[in-house]
Amino acid sequence: MKFKLRAVLFVFGVLSFYACCAQKASATPVFARQTGFSCTACHFEQYPMLNAFGRNFKAEGYTATGNGKQSRIDDENLSLPSTLNAAFVSKLRYQKTNGNSPDVLTNDGNFSIPDEAFLAIGGRLTKNIGFELGLSVVPGDVKDGKVLADFKLPITTKVNDFVLSAIPFTTSSQGPAYGFELLNTGAVEFARALENGEETSAQQYMGTAIESTGVAFVVYNKYGFINYTPYVMTQGDFATKKPAHYIRGAVTPSIGDWDLGAGFQIWTGTSKIKNDGGLMIENRADAWALDFQAQGKVGDLPLGVYASYGNAAKSVDGNPVNVFNENTCKDLNAFVFSGMLGVIPNKLSLGAAYRIANTGASASDSDNAFTLGLAYMVAKNIQFQLNHSFYSGNTHTSEEGNNLTTLVLYSAF
């Protein structure tokens, strides 16, 4: 164990040394290329956390061209960037638990190189239509035919101060919230402050990041949005006459220099689909969540505070299983409170999160976690993270351990 701990510390030390010595670099992902803006224009303190400007850019369907540096091909019915904007996104991850079972991969230290790797393409199609596309090149995804990770096509129109959108989408792992989401609470899987998602987001603890295909119908203005999404829990070829339903509402006011957000999410209904083999599949969703965020400064230091509560109803015999809680004993629920403080603004952030949860598996099913995190921006498009979670309660055995260490090197270029 001492040798393994030293190995982890050595890896951390090498990466930290590299981070400290790295030269300042400009961000070059998809939307930075289109707008000519640095990543800090749209993101709060670190990628992928959105600020108010970033929320507006996303809500308008990725169509804004920013400071006009990128030329366009314009005609009466055409307004297309002259360059197809693309970026390569990768996440290299190491995880280590302290359990004693040889059957748990992370007990021996698990390297995922890459954990995620995809080609991102996106931007403006015309004045009111944009798109976002992710193509996974992780070897396992390619082998299993899961190359299409995510795709959405926001179609928007402005009415006074409101943006009305219809957003057809499909995703392999983001859930129905992928269609449209603006908060940083883990309401959609990708938008969270720390890597250990289930430990720092109630929505992710419930397992809402699932395969989904649907259409998000959205009304947005700078003070909030409402999203109704009929969807099915699959990708690819299918037929359906009965979708499940996702409903999301949020308010996004500002008080002084603080950017606030609060909202609710509801997953409900039973979808029925026939796959390309003609097999009828029923999937039931029964869960809800509340979330809150506050992003501002304490003195000169940026601070983000995030809270979320989620509940997934127990499955009932004779009905389709609730995909967010297969247990028939009790409801699953979780409350998470977290914060990130930029001790070196736009460079080094320190974070912590506390989760109180119950799995619903039995009368004694507490599953609590305390997480510490560090995020270092090597450059505006390269991030290093260190997370460590301590577990308590009835659900973590000596076989799987009660500690999890995660190292991540994330880049987008």
- What is the DSSP annotation of 76-111? TTEEEESS--EEEEEEEEEEEE----TTSGGGG-EE
pLDDT of amino acid 69 = 65
Q: Where residue 368 sits, what CATH number does that domain have? A: 2.40.160.10
Q: How far apart are CA 110 and CA 91, in angstroms?
A: 14
What pLDDT is recorded for position 298? Answer: 93
CA-to-CA distance for 371 and 353, rounded, in angstroms? 5
Q: From CA 45, how far away is CA 301, in angstroms rounded?
A: 10
Question: What is the count of structural domains for the chain?
Answer: 1
Residue-level pLDDT at 241: 79
CB 32 within 8 A of CB 43: no
Contact 267, 287 (CB under 8 A): yes
Count the neighbouring beta carbons within 10 Å of the beta carbon of residue 360. 23
Whole-Å CA distances, 388 to 87, 114, 305: 30, 20, 19
Task: Give residue 28's pLDDT.
Answer: 41
So what's the pLDDT on residue 34? 66
pLDDT at position 50, please? 76
Instruction: Please give the pLDDT value at position 277.
Output: 74
pTM: 0.86
What is the per-residue pLDDT across 99-121, written as a single tens digit (0 to 9) for each? 999 999 999 999 999 999 999 99
Q: How far is CA 114 from CA 38, 97, 107, 199, 237, in A?
A: 26, 19, 19, 22, 28
According to the model, what pLDDT value does residue 71 have?
Answer: 76
Report which secondary-structure segment, H or E, holds 203: helix 202-205
> Which residue range is the domain that position 370 belongs to?
2-412
Dump the DSSP string for 333-368: EEEEEEEEEEEETTTEEEEEEEEEEE-SSSSS-BEE
Mean pLDDT by 10 residues, the chain (413 residues): 43 36 40 67 67 71 66 77 85 95 94 92 87 91 88 94 95 94 92 89 96 96 96 88 94 94 97 81 95 94 96 92 95 96 93 96 90 92 93 90 95 87
Paired tokens of 136: 């996974």
